């Protein structure tokens, strides 16, 4: 159990560029979540996968955002045509099979700065 990993840890991009983040959940965890955290706020739910199926999307997830989880393992979050308002920490969390408490294990996050 090596924990949830996220790459890159930091990303600086210019407005209008596309960025992609990767999340590797704990091995065999079938549930995966993406959150966004802005300065001075708690994390806000973006989307949820169970295995490879994306089952929930928050209204925060505009059409510039897309997430995938091919083969039910790692996940990617892509932001197209980035805006300054997209600057935030993007967090990934995973939950194991049969964990009724839905205890979420978080990765260290990817900090995005849009200039």
Partner 1 sequence: AQSVTQPDIHITVSEGASLELRCNYSYGATPYLFWYVQSPGQGLQLLLKYFSGDTLVQGIKGFEAEFKRSQSSFNLRKPSVHWSDAAEYFCAVGAWGGADGLTFGKGTHLIIQP
Interface size with partner 1, residues (CB under 8 A): 28
C-alpha to C-alpha distances, 104 to 10, 65, 94, 97, 111, nearest whole angstrom: 22, 22, 5, 12, 20
Site for partner 1 in 45-84 (CB under 8 A): 45-46, 48, 50, 55-56, 58
Instruction: Look at the block and give the residue holding tokens 């929930």.
Output: 56
Q: Binder to partner 1 among 30, 80, 87, 105 (CB under 8 A)?
A: 105
CA distances from 69 to 1, 82, 87 (A): 20, 21, 23
* Residue in 44, 52, 76, 80 binding partner 1, rule: CB under 8 A: 44
Give the residue among 57, 69, 65, 56 at the shortest CA–CA distance from 29.
69
Q: How far is the CB of 36 from partner 1 (least distance, A)?
A: 11
What is the binding site for partner 1 (CB under 8 A)?
Answer: 4, 31, 33, 35, 40-46, 48, 50, 55-56, 58, 91, 93, 95, 101-109
């Amino acid at each position: 159990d090596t924990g949830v990993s996220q790459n890159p840890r930091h990303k600086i991009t210019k407005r209008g560029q596309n960025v992609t983040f990767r999340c590797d959940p704990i091995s065999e965890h079938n549930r995966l979540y993406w959150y966004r955290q802005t300065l001075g706020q708690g994390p806000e739910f973006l989307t949820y996968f169970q295995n490879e199926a994306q089952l929930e999307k928050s209204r925060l997830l505009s059409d510039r955002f897309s997430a995938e989880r091919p083969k039910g393992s790692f996940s990617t979050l892509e932001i197209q045509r980035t805006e300054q308002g997209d600057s935030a920490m993007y967090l990934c969390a995973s939950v194991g099979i049969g964990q009724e408490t839905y205890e979420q294990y978080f990765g260290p996050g990817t900090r995005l700065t849009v200039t």
